[in-house]
């Protein structure tokens, strides 16, 4: 059955946040973002209860007001779902979010730690944040899930991402028959790199995920790393697809998430997009090299600027004719590593501009804000799109931008982005550490023959349209059904 | 046959360097170091030709004087071997050694790059150093090996370490029937981390090693990483022990290298050691915490100092009673990352001492020099030995020091040192990133009950004495014989 199933979605950030209070009326702000977009069709076709953290003060008021009953909400397409917000202890949430999840797990799962110097786990800070933050917040989520399963024992539970590694084991212990699946949206790293964490923590993470019937990743590469890490860290058996652990079985799969192509078909002529596009067209030089990212160290913005500088050095004929437009959404500025990286981005842009800038031409046009309509306008106008992430679970920009581009723009894609598996053949592949190769790729993109440009862009579009988000949801549910069926057929070896 | 085989040992650094010239008489300086010590019994029992780079000016004079014929040399135990020095082009050697081998491969193979910032492969520097340095120096070694094999086609070729990844393929192409084995003395990292290198280079490294009949590592952990990396990077088949690739087969094994126990039995009463020991005894406090390392970022000296500081903070009763003696051999000071790290070490020791130092007590006694007799004297005197490497192929200090220790000293050992596989059960295990855990382990070592201390030390000694270097050599040769026999039995699938 492809319709009408009961599904409990569990993610740290929900699809809506509430604002207002203090005498102001309550307003709901519907978020965008990969997860919410990807799950839109899930909400449309199935009976969804969404459990998420209360993020704002008004979220907490909603959580207190509606309690375990939750409230009905709608996606921006009008599909209805039930929302249950969990109000965690504020200190616990701070440890969970600002110490364990970001930066510790995020940095670890993108190979970003400068291991000679950091982390140091000094004064037991990590263990404390784990015990008093990550564990109780996960327990709070698990408790809500268990209550929901009492209400509807047949419901499927669908966990998301690196905030919730412990919840599946807690739910499994309370409800052994539950149907649990987990999608990890970021890379899984090799077993050695998990050694950045003390043994108890890295073991608990793998054990927690292995309480699911299905664990899924964007690409075969992260899937394979998970199988290997589970083997090494739990001491469990080597497995190709299904890991037997702690009396259960976990099917491990890879399905890249997709984008809502219809949304982008509409967005291209949205008035807000058109207004930004007019501004870009009025000021753009002959060649526009675009990047759209959060200011996350994993995105490799600084090396991208150095590569653009090197390209200008090697090709003076492009001075005044090529600009790199960097639309950067400031990210996680509560966390020192992120604040520092934003400083490094600004310093590097300044340095490159001081090197080449002349009246009428700013080589790097750095714009730090969060304006999706402007991003879509820039998607339409680029001649080359640089996605040079150090490591990236997938990278949605690489899928979104080609859908609306109108200049046969060329995608330059990191071999360490999950999207490379699907899109690599139509992209210019680059190694994210190789600034020289990135400079060459930018130049090659700008001077590429029209036929080749068009052919590559059409290939990208066809690929993105073919593997859409409905296909992703169907594949996830099929994995779960298969895993649950296998469980009842063959009792696991104890 | 366990004796009298013809073996061509190939390593960048040979067992002897020559000095003198400019009117001074030529003198031979015999090096110590893990490789030379480990191969001493090989030289004693077999007919060894050793091919190494000419390192000094006088080495170059020797290479020119003796040419391909080489010269007879002796180990310090009086065993005779033939030495053939290869004088590489100076610029090529500089690129090979100071750009590719150190820091690029060394940092990569210990997970030491700060990937957010470095490397950048800017201006094609790495590719250039690879093409004009690493490739021709490896070709120079391969040429010498091929000449030796013409002279003695039955000789076994035994390559060593990360300087020589390309030579085996070049030799295999010239002499398809050659018997080739390679020992890698440093960690092998997971496939993702090899992506720090451009695809052509990481592929060439794995392809080069897979031209050997046998590739060996210190531990199962590095062995397993090599199998996985070979699978992912070459696109070859998944393998448990033997990789089929390019028409050949490579057996992959793990045998930890050992130390010359007899040498340490003698050293403990060597006059130079005794003289240093008297000085240590005369000035030592009640508790001596020792570390002996090169000033290599992989050794994690700075975190060790922070851990000692934290221990002092938590246990004021030990102020004035415990000192950390850090005997550090300055390492690779031609390379900026190493020079910077030495600065960081000095700054951190100064900071900790400024925090606690009082008349009569220097908390961290930092001694930067290279004096093996002093190290052995300190080995005899420690109460706790800290080996907290970030990652380490094996770590010989952890094997050497317990052999001569006279105070039932406790080994505190990183879980990421290759030696942990063998010695972990008698050590206090620490996570190298966890400063708090290291502080706890230092304290626990110092207050441990005498019985437990003795039991652990005896366990360490028994393990080191049992798996000695002759066992290592025998295991290596048995692997090779097995692999070559399998080759002639079953022609590889093309």
Query: Cα(A390)–Cα(A303) distance, rounded to whole angstroms?
Result: 10
Judged by a CB distance cut-off of 8 A, whether residue A71 touches chain B is no
Question: Which residue on chain A is closest to B438 by alpha carbon?
Answer: A122
| Mean pLDDT in residue range A256-261 | 90
Read out DSSP for B115-183?
TTT----GGGHHHHHIIIIIHHHHHHHHHHHHHHHHH-TT-EEEEESTT-SSHHHHHHHH-TT-EEEEE
**Is the predicted pLDDT of residue B471 greater than 60, yes or no?**
yes
Give the B window 303-362 contacts with A, CB below 8 Å.
Answer: 303, 306, 310, 341
Residues of A in contact with B196 (CB under 8 A): 433
Q: What pLDDT score does A178 carry?
A: 97
Nearest-by-CA chain A residue for B128? A436
Q: What is the pLDDT of residue A359?
A: 94
Between chain A and chain B, the number of residue pairs with CB atoms below 8 A apart is 126
Chain B closest CA to A483's CA: distance in Å?
25
pLDDT tens profile A448-474? 999 999 999 999 999 999 988 888 999
Cα gap A282→A485, rounded to integer Å? 59
Q: Does A490 score more than 60 pLDDT?
A: no
| Contacting A residues, span 453-472, partner chain B, CB-CB under 8 Å | none
Q: What are phi and psi for residue A178, nearest 5 degrees? A: -60, 150
Predicted local distance difference test score (pLDDT) of residue B1: 47
Label residue B209 by pLDDT band (50, 70, 90): very high
pLDDT in tens, A337-360: 899 999 999 999 999 999 999 999
Helix axes B135-151, B167-174, angle to 10 degrees: 40
pLDDT value of position B477: 95
Query: What pLDDT shows up at residue A489?
Result: 65
pLDDT at A491 over 60: no
pLDDT-based confidence at A1, cuts 50/70/90?
very low
Chain A environment of B310 (Cβ under 8 Å): 122-123
ipTM summary value: 0.92
| Residue in B228, B416, B436 nearest the CB of A123 | B436
Picking from B276, B268, B292, the residue whose alpha carbon sits closest to that of residue B406 is: B268
In which band, very low, low, confident or very high, does the pLDDT at A173 lie, cut at 50, 70 and 90? Answer: very high
Mean pLDDT value across residues A59-87? 94
Phi, psi of B178 (to 5 degrees): -60, 150
B-chain CB neighbours of A302 within 8 Å are: 117
A121 chain-B contacts, CB cut-off 8 A: 431, 433-437
CB A161 within 8 A of CB A106: no
Closest residue of A to B201, CA-based?
A431
pLDDT-derived band of residue B384, with 50, 70 and 90 as boundaries? very high
Whole-number pLDDT of residue B494: 42
The H or E element that residue B220 is part of is helix B220-234
Over residues B444-452, the mean pLDDT reads 98
Q: CB A190 to CB B192 under 8 A?
A: yes
Give the contacts of B237 (CB within 8 A, at least 6 positions apart). B231, B243, B244
Enumerate the residues of chain B whose CB falls inside 8 A of the CB of residue A228. 190, 228
Nearest-by-CA chain A residue for B123 = A436
**Chain A within 8 Å of B123 (Cβ-Cβ)?**
yes
Which residue, chain included where needed, has tokens 């998970």? A226
Mean pLDDT for B395-406 is 97
- Return the half-sphere exposure (C-beta side, CA atoms, 13 A cut-off) of residue B135: 10
Give pLDDT, residue A494. 42
Whether A120 contacts chain B with CB within 8 A: yes
Which one has a higher pLDDT value, B309 or B103?
B309
A430 contacts A412 by C-beta, under 8 angstroms: yes
Residues B373 and B232: their CA atoms lie apart, in Å, by: 45
Least-confidence region, from A106-115, A230-239, A450-459: A230-239
Question: Which tens digits make up the pLDDT trace of A416-427?
Answer: 999 999 999 999
Does residue B132 have a pLDDT over 70?
A: yes
**Of A119, A391, A434, which has the smallest distance from its Cβ to B121's Cβ?**
A434
Interface test with B, best of A107, A108, A123, A192 (most B CBs within 10 A): A192
pLDDT digits over A198-212, tens only? 999 999 999 999 999
pLDDT for residue A33 is more than 80: no
By Cβ distance, the residue of A119, A125, A435 closest to B122 is A435
The token pair that represents B449 in the structure block: 């009950």
- A12: nearest Cα among A164, A131, A136, A181: A164
Which pLDDT value is given to residue B357? 95
Please enumerate in sequence order all residues whose Cβ is within 8 A of that of A328, keeping only pairs 6 or more positions apart, or say none: A291, A292, A293, A294, A295, A301, A345, A366, A367, A368
Percent of chain A beyond pLDDT 70?
98
Residue of chain B whose Cα is closest to the Cα of A199: B431
Specify whether the CB–CB gap between B241 and B201 falls below 8 A.
no
Strands, sheet with A287-294, edge to edge from the N-terminal-most edge strand = A364-368, A322-329, A287-294, A384-387, A410-414, A428-430
- pLDDT at position A493 over 60: no
Q: What percent of chain B has pLDDT over 90?
A: 86
Which among B106, B112, B115, B223 is the top mutation candidate for probing chain A, defined by the most A β-carbons within 10 Å of its own β-carbon?
Answer: B115
pLDDT bracket for residue A323 (50, 70, 90): very high
User: What's the mean pLDDT in B30-50?
Assistant: 84
Q: How far apart are CA A347 and CA A336, in angstroms?
A: 17
pLDDT of the residue at B238 = 86
Contact list, B225 vs chain A (CB under 8 Å): 190, 192
**Which DSSP string do the residues of A304-318 spell out, in sequence order?**
HHHHHHHHHHH-GGG
pLDDT range class, residue A234, cuts 50, 70, 90: confident
Q: Give per-residue pLDDT as tens, B181-205.
A: 999 999 999 999 999 999 999 999 9
pTM: 0.94
Q: What is the mean pLDDT of residues B293-314?
A: 97
Kindly report which listed range (A246-255, A366-375, A465-474, B13-22) carries the lowest average pLDDT score: A465-474
Q: What are phi and psi of B153, to 5 degrees?
A: -65, -15
Q: Nearest chain B residue to A303 by CA: give it.
A: B120
Alpha helices in B40-112 (DSSP H): 40-45, 57-66, 90-94, 106-108
pLDDT of residue A332: 87
pLDDT value of residue B490: 56
């Amino acid at each position: 059955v492809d319709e009408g199933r009961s599904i409990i979605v569990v993610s740290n950030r929900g699809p809506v946040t509430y604002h207002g209070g203090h005498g102001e009326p309550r307003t709901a702000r519907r978020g965008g973002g990969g997860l919410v977009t990807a799950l839109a069709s899930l909400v449309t076709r199935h009976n969804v209860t969404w459990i998420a953290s209360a993020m704002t003060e008004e979220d907490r008021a909603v959580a207190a007001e509606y309690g375990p009953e939750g409230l009905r909400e709608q996606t921006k397409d009008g599909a209805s779902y039930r929302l249950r917000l969990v109000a965690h202890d504020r200190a616990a949430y701070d440890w969970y979010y600002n110490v364990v999840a970001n930066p510790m797990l995020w940095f670890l799962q993108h190979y970003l730690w400068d291991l000679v110097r950091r982390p140091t786990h000094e004064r037991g800070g990590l263990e404390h944040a784990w015990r008093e933050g990550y564990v109780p917040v996960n327990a709070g989520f698990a408790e809500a899930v268990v209550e929901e399963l009492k209400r509807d024992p047949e419901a499927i539970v669908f966990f998301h991402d690196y905030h919730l590694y412990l919840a599946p084991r807690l739910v499994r212990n309370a409800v052994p028959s539950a149907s649990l699946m987990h999608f990890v949206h970021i890379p899984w790293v090799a077993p050695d790199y998990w050694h950045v964490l003390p043994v108890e923590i890295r073991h608990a993470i793998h054990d927690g995920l292995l309480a699911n019937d299905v664990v899924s990743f964007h690409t075969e590469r992260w899937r394979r790393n998970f199988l290997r890490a589970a083997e090494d860290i739990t001491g469990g058996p080597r497995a190709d697809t299904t890991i037997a652990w702690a009396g259960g079985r976990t099917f491990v799969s890879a399905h890249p998430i997709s984008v809502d192509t219809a949304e982008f078909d509409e967005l291209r002529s949205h008035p807000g997009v058109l207004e930004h596009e007019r501004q870009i067209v009025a000021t753009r030089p002959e060649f526009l090299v675009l990047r759209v990212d959060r200011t996350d160290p994993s995105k490799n913005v600084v090396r991208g600027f150095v590569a653009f500088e090197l390209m200008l050095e090697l090709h003076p004929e492009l001075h005044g004719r090529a600009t790199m437009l960097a639309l950067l959404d400031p990210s996680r500025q509560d966390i020192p590593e992120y604040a520092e990286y934003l400083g490094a981005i600004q310093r590097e842009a300044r340095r490159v501009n001081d090197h080449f800038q002349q009246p009428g031409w700013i080589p790097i046009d750095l714009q730090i804000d969060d304006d999706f309509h402007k991003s879509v306008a820039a998607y339409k106008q680029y001649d080359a799109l640089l996605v040079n992430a150090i490591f990236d679970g997938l990278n949605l920009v690489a899928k979104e931008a080609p859908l609306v581009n109108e200049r046969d723009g060329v995608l330059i894609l990191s071999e360490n982005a999950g999207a490379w598996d699907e899109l690599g053949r139509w992209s210019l592949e680059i190694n994210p550490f190789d600034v020289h190769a990135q400079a060459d790729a930018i130049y090659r993109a700008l001077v590429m023959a029209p036929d080749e440009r068009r052919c590559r862009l059409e290939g990208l579009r066809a690929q993105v349209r073919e593997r859409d988000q409905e296909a992703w949801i169907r594949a996830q549910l099929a994995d779960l059904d298969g895993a649950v069926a296998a469980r009842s057929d063959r009792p696991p070896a104890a």
